Copies of this chain bind each other. A is one copy, B any other.
């Protein structure tokens, strides 16, 4: 069996999802439709055609999970549309809460149209996600929608903890991982299993796919946090040492604070400061995260979580080609250079 071609897999899934996603967005009120089209990369600020959407990883997982259950990808399509809508609902609201003015080098919706626009377009996307999923031609549409709604609560919990943790200096590694499980893991778990739910797969298959998504989410978040410090700006699109500039208490930083001894204490002192840091100070902070064990731990934990994700798939009944595609997609997401 040849190695799966992940860019081709992502393109195939995107081609299937985009028209259905457009049909869903077309149902929104005029303002929400305009803002959502812009946010999704379909249009630019002046209404001209956009330079393209994201990789649409979540829809791809949803479609593959239908195939994992032995169904056609199309069985997972309403799930794919719904998870992408929920993902973007949460981005619209989170960008506003976090005060982020740019996403992928473009103004965020709230920065361009104001806070009410971001709130309302997000609300509308969440509502239409439920609508589309309940219209799925599957006896399990309601079960899938219930799962999606529980996931939204998990997303909210994760974001609420993220907001709360910003005001605390004593957040532990376990709390931080639980927060990431809410913010990233829960929707990846649901994305990776919703197609299988819609296909009516046996419970062990669906559970294995959900575990795959959850563990993949943890690995992805750990790698993302590593890239936020040591990522190549040419690849990440963010400034060098980006997460340290904003004094973000990411997972590697949190680890070093708690387990880093003298390096951790120096790091804590620097984090407590409020002045803008100089470049040498930022490099010193990065060295403290590494010296405090944060870099090594996060890399090892990412590998461990990715292995758990793959182990879950290995133990489940599914076509070998689909398992290979899921494994390759997981590595594509979690095995980035840092």
Contacts and interface: CB of A to CB of B under 8 A. Distances in A.
B149 A127 contact: yes
A119 B115 CA distance: 11
A82 to B, nearest CB: 11
Interface residues of A, number: 41
A97 interface: yes
Interface in A108-152: 115-117, 119-120, 122-124, 126-128, 130-131, 134-135, 141-142, 145-146, 149-150, 152
* Chief secondary structure at chain A's binding surface: helix
Interface in A1-60: 27-32
Given A32-B156, A93-B119, A97-B115, A146 B134 contact: yes
A336 interface: no
B120 A149 contact: no
Interface of A: 27-32, 89, 93, 96-97, 115-117, 119-120, 122-124, 126-128, 130-131, 134-135, 141-142, 145-146, 149-150, 152-153, 155-157, 159-161, 163-164
Given A93-B120, A97-B120, A117-B163, 18 more contacts: A28-B156, A29-B153, A31-B164, A115-B115, A116-B159, A119-B119, A120-B159, A120-B160, A122-B123, A124-B153, A127-B152, A127-B153, A128-B153, A130-B130, A131-B150, A131-B153, A134-B142, A135-B146
A140 to B, nearest CB: 11
A167 B4 CA distance: 53
Contact of A145 (B122, B134, B155, B156): B134
Contacts of A27: 153
27 contacts: A27-B153, A28-B153, A28-B156, A29-B156, A31-B164, A32-B156, A32-B157, A32-B160, A97-B116, A116-B160, A117-B160, A117-B163, A120-B156, A123-B152, A123-B155, A124-B152, A124-B157, A127-B150, A127-B152, A127-B153, A127-B156, A130-B145, A131-B150, A134-B145, A134-B149, A135-B146, A145-B145
